[in-house]
Amino acid sequence: MQLKIALGQMEIVPGRPDLNSTTMLEMIGEARKQQADIIIFPEMSIPGYLLGDTWEQEAYLQDCEEFGRQIVQASGDITILFGNVAVDWHKRGDDSRVRKYNAFFIAQNGRLKGDDNFPYPYRIKTLQPNYREFDDDRHFYSLKKLAQELNRQPEDLLSPVFITIKGRRLGLGCLLCEDGWSDDYFTKPIPILGQKGDVHLFINISSSPFTLGKNNKRNRIFAKQAAEAGVPLIYVNNVGIQNNGKTIYTFDGSSTVYSKKGEVIYYSSKPFQASLDTLELDLETGGTDAAPAEICDDHTTGYIYQSLAYGLKKFTQAIGISKVVIGISGGIDSAVSAALYAGVMGPENLLLINMPSQFNSQTTRNLALELAKNLNCRYTVLPIQESVDYTTRQIQETPVIHPLTGEETRLKLSPFMIENIQARDRSSRILAAVAAAFGGGFTCNANKAETTVGYSTLYGDLSGFLAVLADLWKHQVYQLAHYLNSEVYDREVIPQGIIDIVPSAELSFDQAVDEGKGDPLVYPYHDYLFRSFVQWWNKATPEDILVWYKEGSLEEKLGCTPGLVKKHFPTAAAFIADLERWWRLYNGIGVAKRIQSPPILAVSRRAFGFDHREAQNGVYFTRKYLELKKQLLSE
C-alpha cells in the first residue's frame, strides 16, 4: 500500500498560536491539493516550545487548545498529525498548577483518534529532556510519570494510535522528539512499541534546535532503531528560531524519512527553510521509489554560516531591528560580524563606526576603512580620546567631600581603569546613542574564548542587542572569515590584513599591533582548554588538565596542536600559573560579566546562558588538584 505523506516542515513562531495555526491551515490546504493522505507537523507546532514561564498563563493554554480544535476541524479526508500542549484541567502537576502534557494529536474526519487504548485522545511525551537548554519537567507531565501515578509501567501505556486510511487499518507509533533518543533511558519507546507488533509506521515529531553535528548523530541513532524495529520512521522538525532569553536557537528542520531497513530515503534538501514536501511511502517495502536521499554534513563551517545567517535574520525580524550599528576596530571579530550582518541585512542597513583612541594604530584604522569600503557600508569615525580625557579629568579633579568633617579627597584612576573607560565610552556613550539615532541596535562582537574568561568590559564591548559570534571559538571565527570571503562574497571583503594581524584590544601601548603585541590569550591552545571547561559533556577541571599534563597526553586530549604547551609554557610553574589565571577568571569575574551579557546565538553544545548554567560561586580547586600541583612544582 502506498501512503502519500506531506511533511509540514513549518516555521514555528514561539508564543504565537494564531500565526502558527494559520501556517498549518495553509499547509493543510496545500497538502489536500496534492492529495496527501497524511500531513505531519512538528512538536508543539501551535504554541511553540521555548516559551519560558508563559506555560503558567492559563489563558494562553486555553488559547492553544482552541487553535488546536481548529486544526482538528480542518481534518477530514486528510489525516493531520500535530504537536500541541494538552491540558488536563482536572489534574494537577507536581507544582500544583494545572497539568500539561507535551502532546501528539492525530485528527481524522474532524475527530481526535487514539483514546481507545490510552487515557487521553492524544499521545504524550515519554522521555523528557532536562539537560542543556531543556526544562521539560518544569512544565510537562511525562508518560513515565503518568504510568507511575496509575501504578503501571511505561510499557503498559505505550500503545500505537490506530487509524484507517483507504480502508486499511494502520498502527502509528507516535514519538515526541526525545522519545527517539532513548540510549540513556531505561525506557525505550521505539523498541517497546516495535515489539508490540502492530506498528506500521513510526512518526517522530520534534522541535529540535540546531546544534553542530546533531543531525549526523540523529541519522545514526534513528536509522538503527528503524532497522531494528523493521518499521519506517518519519522525522518532522520545524524551522525558525526560539530562545530562552539569554540563548537563541535556530531550528534547521532537516526532516528525514528512514526506511524499514534504516536507509535515509528522504532528507529535506533545504535546511532552515519552511517546506511542504510530499512523498509516496510503500508500507509493504517500507521504502520509496525515489533515489536515495543526499544528506548534507552539518559539521562544517558552511553549516555554521547558514545557522548564524538564518538566526540573525529571524532574530532581528522578531525583535523589529532592521538597522544595525557595528563598531569596527580593524580586528577580526568585528570584521566577521560586519561581513555577516551586511550579507543578511543588506549593506545599506549598516552603519560602521571606528572609534579610535591614542592607542589605535594607523594600521587598524586603515583596515577598518578598507572593510567598510569592501562591504559598501556607510562609515564614520568618532574618536573617543577627548571624551576619555574629559572623564578622567572630571573624576580625578572633582573633590570627594566628607559631609561632617568637610575633608576633601581626590580619586585616582589607574591605566587599567582608563582602559575600561575607553571600552565603555565606545559602547555606552557612542554606539548606544548612534544606534538609536540610526534607528536600530548595535552589535556585540565577542567570541566564545573571550566570553569564557570575561576578557571584555561590561557596558563596553560586552554590550549590544545580540552576540552573534559568542558561541564560536576564536579559530571558528577565523574559519568563518575565510568562508565569508571565499564562499559567501567570493572576494576578499574581509581584508587579509585583518586576518593576519595579531588579535589585540588596543587599549594600551602594551597591546600595540605594529609591534606584534596583542591579547594575552594564546588562542590555538586556550580555545581548546576553555572548550574542555565549558563544552565537554563531562566538564574538565584543572585537576583533569594537570593529570593529562603530567602524563603528557594533554594536547591529544584537548585536540589542539602538539608542541604548543611546551612552546608557550616551558616550565610546570608557567603552565600552572596560566591554568589558574584563566580558571579564576572563568569562575570569577567571567560569570559576573556573563550574567549581564547580551543574548547569544547558539551553535555548539553548551552555549553560555541557558545551556551552560552557572552560579556566581567563585573559584575552587579540588584536593587532588592541589596535591598534583605541589608534586609538579617540587619536581
- Stretch of 30-38, 228-236, 286-294, 401-409 contacting its own copies, by CB under 8 A: 401-409
| Binding residue for its own copies, selected from 166, 553, 620, 630, defined by CB under 8 A | 620
Q: Is 385 in the site for its own copies (CB under 8 A)?
A: no
Q: How far, in Å, CA of 492 to CA of 489, rounded?
A: 8
Q: Is 489 in the site for its own copies (CB under 8 A)?
A: no
Q: How far, in Å, CA of 54 to CA of 65, rounded?
A: 15
- A 10 A CB-CB count for 163 gives 21
Please name the residue ranges forming H helices in 77-213: 136-139, 143-149, 154-157, 189-195
Q: Is 202 in the site for its own copies (CB under 8 A)?
A: no
Write each residue from 158 to 197 as x if it is in contact with its own copies (CB under 8 A), else as -, in one continuous string.
-------------------------xxxxx----------
Q: How far is the CB of 250 from its own copies (least distance, A)?
A: 14
Helix, strand, or coil (residue 115): coil
Q: How far, in Å, CA of 45 to CA of 51, rounded?
A: 13
Full strand arrangement of the beta sheet holding 201-206: 161-165, 168-176, 201-206, 233-237, 256-258, 264-267
Q: Is 448 in the site for its own copies (CB under 8 A)?
A: no
The separation between CA 79 and the C-alpha centre of its own chain, rounded to angstroms, equals 33
- β-partners of residue 380 are 353
By CB under 8 A, the residues from 571 to 600 that bind its own copies are 591-592, 594-599
Q: Which amino acid does the sequence have at 50?
A: L
- Tell me how far CA of residue 64 lies from CA of 72, 107, 156, 171, 236, in angstroms: 12, 16, 29, 27, 20
Q: Is 239 in the site for its own copies (CB under 8 A)?
A: no
By CB under 8 A, the residues from 75 to 104 that bind its own copies are 92-98
Q: Is 231 in the site for its own copies (CB under 8 A)?
A: no
Q: Judged by CB under 8 A, how many residues of this single chain contact its own copies?
A: 128
Give 137 or 282: the residue with its C-beta nearer to its own copies.
137
By CB under 8 A, the residues from 511 to 530 that bind its own copies are none
By CB under 8 A, the residues from 257 to 316 that bind its own copies are none
Q: Which of 161, 57, 52, 148 has its CA nearest to residue 103?
A: 161
Grid coordinates representing 406 are 568637610
Give 33 or 402: the residue with its C-beta nearer to its own copies.
402
| Binding residue for its own copies, selected from 197, 294, 394, 490, defined by CB under 8 A | 394
- Stretch of 23-31, 125-133, 271-279, 549-557 contacting its own copies, by CB under 8 A: 125-133
Q: How far, in Å, CA of 107 to CA of 78, rounded?
A: 9
DSSP string, 283-341: TTTTB-SSPPPPPPPSSSHHHHHHHHHHHHHHHHHHHT---EEEE--SSHHHHHHHHHH
* 46 contacts 66 by C-beta, under 8 angstroms: no
| Binding residue for its own copies, selected from 204, 219, 244, 476, defined by CB under 8 A | 244
Q: How far is the CB of 524 from its own copies (least distance, A)?
A: 25
- Stretch of 290-298, 399-407, 479-487, 512-520 contacting its own copies, by CB under 8 A: 399-407
Give the sign of the dihedral formed by CA 178, CA 30, CA 281, CA 115: positive
Q: How far is the CB of 108 from its own copies (least distance, A)?
A: 25
Q: Is 553 in the site for its own copies (CB under 8 A)?
A: no
- Stretch of 12-20, 37-45, 277-285, 473-481 contacting its own copies, by CB under 8 A: 12-20
| Binding residue for its own copies, selected from 563, 617, 634, 635, defined by CB under 8 A | 617
Give 395 or 512: the residue with its C-beta nearer to its own copies.
395
Give 97 or 567: the residue with its C-beta nearer to its own copies.
97
Q: Is 54 in the site for its own copies (CB under 8 A)?
A: yes
| Binding residue for its own copies, selected from 34, 285, 362, 398, defined by CB under 8 A | 398
Cβ-based burial of 50 (10 A; exposed 0-12, middle 13-18, buried ≥19): buried
Q: How far is the CB of 440 from its own copies (least distance, A)?
A: 12
Q: Is 531 in the site for its own copies (CB under 8 A)?
A: no
Q: Which amino acid does the sequence have at 353?
A: I
Q: Is 253 in the site for its own copies (CB under 8 A)?
A: no
* 242 contacts 251 by C-beta, under 8 angstroms: yes
Q: Is 623 in the site for its own copies (CB under 8 A)?
A: yes
Q: Is 437 in the site for its own copies (CB under 8 A)?
A: yes
